[in-house]
């Protein structure tokens, strides 16, 4: 691997797992090689953008709770509901750090790779005033490979009850709590447990009056947006999230899942990506 920029260090994090730390004039970030899992992105002068559970488990075989889990090559239990482990193997496998570079403006780019028997994945993460991720999956097998993919991002908010997600008005969605299809009317607001798969990958915004900011989300090659918050009762049954932590985050996920899964022919690939930008809420 090439020589590291001065703003980048490699060390150990929680659970003695290897991490890449970035501390530049533009932002601070941390990425675990386990799961190629970004757990921090804090632009200069901002509150942290990513939420990480203080009760997360950091050990082989357990997914990290918070940050940006990579759901691959399936989402949840897969289109047929019979896949294990939950959300695929990419988030509980250690990736290789292939290269690190720094641009003239100080943004840092990491290239990571994962190679399994029949398929591989590569992740490009660019950390600066904006955060960009691009995830590519390639089928190396002799048969077609069905791929679901999601960037399951946990965003820090002041209080989810006061947050709005814009950009989904009029979009059809699957309400996984109610078990029925519906159509969004107006902004997405949070009054109870929320688990929805929207049929849109168009730009959305998280509007957070408590932190006086907007988090702008611009997606690449994404057909779905997943919105999730477990609320009070569900959180009590989750060992890796404190009972009182649910108001402090919301998941808005860039995804291709369910009927938008990709059928990869041998030798072909698929790419999904997203960019996050923080601006003042006026």
Q: Exposure pattern of 218-250 as b/e (b: 16+ CB <10 Å)?
A: bbebbbbbbbbbbbeeebeeeeebeeebbbbbb
Report pLDDT for 150. Answer: 99
CA distance 56 to 44: 25
Domain ranges for the chain = 8-280
Dihedral angle sign, alpha carbons of residues 148, 71, 269, 274 = positive
Report pLDDT for 130. Answer: 99
Tell me the three state secondary structure of residue 37. strand
Backbone angles phi, psi at 35, to 5 degrees: 80, 5
CA geometry: angle at 47 spanning 43 and 50, to 5°? 75
Report pLDDT for 282. Answer: 84
CA distance 169 to 188: 8
Q: With a threshold of 0.85, does the pTM exceed it?
A: yes
Q: What is the DSSP letter of 235?
A: H
Write out the two tokens for 238.
């989750």
Among candidates 281, 215, 230, 226, which has minimal Cα distance to 256?
226
8-280: CATH architecture: Distorted Sandwich (2.70)
Report pLDDT for 210. Answer: 98
Report pLDDT for 3. Answer: 87
Q: Is 253 a residue of the active site?
A: yes
Write out the two tokens for 80.
């047929």
Other beta carbons within 10 Å of 66: 27
Report pLDDT for 173. Answer: 99
77 to 59, 87, 128, 132, 200: CA distances (angstroms): 22, 6, 34, 27, 21
Report pLDDT for 1. Answer: 66
142 to 67, 117, 138, 210, 252: CA distances (angstroms): 34, 11, 12, 52, 34
Q: What is the pLDDT along the chain (282 residues), one digit of tens a residue?
A: 678 999 999 999 999 999 999 999 999 999 999 999 999 999 999 999 999 999 999 999 999 999 999 999 999 999 989 999 999 999 999 999 999 999 999 999 999 999 999 999 999 999 999 999 999 999 999 999 999 999 999 999 999 999 999 999 999 999 999 999 999 999 999 999 999 999 999 999 999 999 999 999 999 999 999 999 999 999 999 999 999 999 999 999 999 999 999 999 999 999 999 999 999 998
Catalytic residue among 134, 148, 152, 205: 152
Report pLDDT for 267. Answer: 98
């Amino acid at each position: 691997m090439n020589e590291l920029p001065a703003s980048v260090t490699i060390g150990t994090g929680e659970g003695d797992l290897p991490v890449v730390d970035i501390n530049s004039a533009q932002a601070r970030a941390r990425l675990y090689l386990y799961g190629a899992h970004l757990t921090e992105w804090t632009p200069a002068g901002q509150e942290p953008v990513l939420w990480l559970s203080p009760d997360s488990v950091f050990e082989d075989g357990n997914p990290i709770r918070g940050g940006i889990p990579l759901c691959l090559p399936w989402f949840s239990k897969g289109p047929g509901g019979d896949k294990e482990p939950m959300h695929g193997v990419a988030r509980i496998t250690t990736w290789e750090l292939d290269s690190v570079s720094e641009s003239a403006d100080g943004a840092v780019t990491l290239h990571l790779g994962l190679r399994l028997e029949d398929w591989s994945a590569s992740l490009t993460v660019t950390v600066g005033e904006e955060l960009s991720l691009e995830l590519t999956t390639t089928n190396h097998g002799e048969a077609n490979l069905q791929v679901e993919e999601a960037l399951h991002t946990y965003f820090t908010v002041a209080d989810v009850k006061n947050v709005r997600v814009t950009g989904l008005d009029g979009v059809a969605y699957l309400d996984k709590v109610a078990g029925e299809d519906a159509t969004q009317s107006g902004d997405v607001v949070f009054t109870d447990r929320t688990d929805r798969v929207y049929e849109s990958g168009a730009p959305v915004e998280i509007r957070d009056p408590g932190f006086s900011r907007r988090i702008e989300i611009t997606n690449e090659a994404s057909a779905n947006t997943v919105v999730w918050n477990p609320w009070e009762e569900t959180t009590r049954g989750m060992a890796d999230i404190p009972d009182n932590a649910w108001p402090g985050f919301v998941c808005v996920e860039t995804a291709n899942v369910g009927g938008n899964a990709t059928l990869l022919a041998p030798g072909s690939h698929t790419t999904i990506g997203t960019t996050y930008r923080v601006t003042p809420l006026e």
